[in-house]
Amino acid sequence: MKRNLCVLVMVLMTVYGWSEVKNTDLLETWATVGICDTTWYNEETKVFTLSTPAELGGLAYLVNKSKIVGDTILLSADIDLSAHSWMPIGYTNAFSGVFDGQGHTISGIKDLEYLDNAGGFFGNLCFAFISNLNFSADNDIALYGVATGSVAGLALLSAIYNCHNEAAVHGDINVGGILGNGSLVSIFNCSNYGFVAGDGDMNGIYGTHVGGIVGSMSGSVCNSYNMGAVNGVDTVGGIIGIGSSLIIKNCYSHGAVEGESAAGGIIAVLTDAKSTVAFNNYWQAADCNQSSDFGTKKDNAWMKASTGMLAELNDSVDANNLTTKAILWKKWEIVEDKNNGYPIFVSSTTGVNEVLAADMPNVYVANREIMVAGVAGKTLSMYNISGQLITNKVAATDYETLKAPDAGIYIVCIDNAAVKVVVK
């Protein structure tokens, strides 16, 4: 099922005229044979730790050749990609699996303007969980295709957690500081500081669907913020350019928002307001002249005050984490010499990946059933990636089965420990 959906993504790309790679004969990329390193890969192993640019290039090569699907990738070092052009991971075949940056930083991405599909560090994501990854300001993320973002261009049924961007992002349409375009995607604990611009021209369509976090999407954006200026022609938003069926909670945008039409401090255009949940979102009054029904205008003083936005954000975090056992949303703080006095995430807050490292009973997945062993008398809870409770019960036997309503990523809690589960 998962592979079929990921293939569908690539088919849709072809149907809509999204070509593969142009001018590649002019490039030597990290994914080029002879430059990339694939010696770390073997089919029997499911978890790999990468530490060099050549190994990341090998990952791009293997994914783009459909030779690696559903594995877990851990990054163990900061990576400078400036020696060669970058070929996005999942550019011609979607990346499916887990990529944990473990707090490391990517720098030196360049020459994406030679591509015309969807991309950033990743190209296309499908059933993917991307976390704990930073992008420095010296990345050149300019891809004039169908979707552009620092983390990825296009995503389906995926989640992006604790990723932070300082680089400028430029594209034609569907341009976001974190993600270009997403369908049924969850983004949380993310931030953008880079300038985001829809300044290209794709077949006469340009500067459309531009957002500080994501250009266009359905799904959820929670506990995230944008400090970068956002510029485009149409549907330009501080957090989201255009969206449908959204959950957007506990976000703020301070970056200036400029668009010739349909500009919004939080969301520019919403195509399905009845199915959208928006709560506790803020934007600076001076940065956008157009009102937004999904956020509250505030001034600088209130946004910087410990009794103002900081208190509101943390009250919402506490309420959410009381439900989800403190595994999803990070707390906020104001540090005098950081972020010009605006709230940032508490650096010591335990996030989902730290919690996932706890000792866990055996967990198995078959079809849409999650089977857990060794849990008699323990409290079992299951949440979707947006933090909504699906199941809560006390295990009557050593072996219990939890049913996932749909394919996707879930968090299963067993007493005070948790595990991330991908249901295909």
The rounded distance, in Å, linking the Cα atoms of 286 and 35 is 49
Amino acid letter for position 259 = G
Query: Any idea which residue has 């990054």 for tokens?
Result: 75
| DSSP 3-state of 226 | strand
Give φ, ψ of 359 to 5 degrees: -65, 135
For the residues of 33-94, what is the DSSP string, one character each?
TTTS--TT--TT--EEEE-SHHHHHHHHHHHHTT---SEEEEE-S-EE-TTSB---BTSSS-
| 77 & 150 share domain | yes
| 277 & 371 share domain | no
| 294 & 362 share domain | no
The rounded distance, in Å, linking the Cα atoms of 134 and 165 is 6
Per-residue confidence (pLDDT) for residue 313, from 0 to 100: 95
Q: Identify the CATH number of the domain in which residue 392 sits.
A: 2.60.40.10
Q: Decide if 236 is inside a domain.
A: yes
Q: Decide if 348 is inside a domain.
A: no
Structure confidence by residue, pLDDT tens digits, 50-99: 999 999 999 999 999 988 888 899 999 999 999 999 999 999 999 999 99
Amino acid letter for position 370 = I
pLDDT by position in tens, the chain (length 424): 555 556 555 544 433 334 444 544 457 899 999 999 999 999 988 889 999 999 999 999 999 998 888 889 999 999 999 999 999 999 999 999 999 998 999 999 999 988 888 999 999 999 999 999 999 999 999 999 999 999 999 999 999 999 999 999 999 999 999 999 999 999 999 999 999 999 866 566 678 999 999 999 999 999 999 999 999 999 999 999 999 999 999 999 998 999 888 889 999 998 887 788 889 999 986 666 555 568 899 999 999 999 999 999 999 988 877 665 545 688 899 998 899 999 999 864 333 333 343 344 567 777 678 888 778 888 888 877 656 778 888 988 878 888 888 777 778 888 766 677 777 6
> Where among 259, 281, 298 does a domain terminate?
298
Q: Decide if 69 is inside a domain.
A: yes
| 91 & 209 share domain | yes
| 228 & 150 share domain | yes
Q: Decide if 314 is inside a domain.
A: no
Q: Which domain holds residue 244?
A: 2-298
| 283 & 369 share domain | no
pTM for the model: 0.82
Give φ, ψ of 14 to 5 degrees: -70, -40
The rounded distance, in Å, linking the Cα atoms of 80 and 107 is 5
Q: Decide if 333 is inside a domain.
A: no
- Could you give the number of structural domains in the chain? 2
Q: Decide if 231 is inside a domain.
A: yes
Per-residue confidence (pLDDT) for residue 287, from 0 to 100: 66
The rounded distance, in Å, linking the Cα atoms of 200 and 98 is 32
| 91 & 184 share domain | yes
Q: Identify the CATH number of the domain in which residue 92 sits.
A: 2.160.20
Per-residue confidence (pLDDT) for residue 274, from 0 to 100: 77
| 285 & 366 share domain | no
Q: Decide if 328 is inside a domain.
A: no
Q: Decide if 338 is inside a domain.
A: no
> Where among 298, 317, 337 does a domain terminate?
298
Ramachandran bin of 121, using left for φ above 0, alpha for ψ from -120 to 50, beta for the remaining angles:
alpha
| 290 & 382 share domain | no
| 172 & 47 share domain | yes
Per-residue confidence (pLDDT) for residue 205, from 0 to 100: 64
| 64 & 212 share domain | yes
> Where among 280, 298, 316 does a domain terminate?
298
The rounded distance, in Å, linking the Cα atoms of 413 and 325 is 8
The rounded distance, in Å, linking the Cα atoms of 245 and 243 is 7
| 203 & 71 share domain | yes
- Residue 20: Cβ-neighbour burial (10 angstroms; 0-12, 13-18, 19+): middle
Per-residue confidence (pLDDT) for residue 147, from 0 to 100: 96
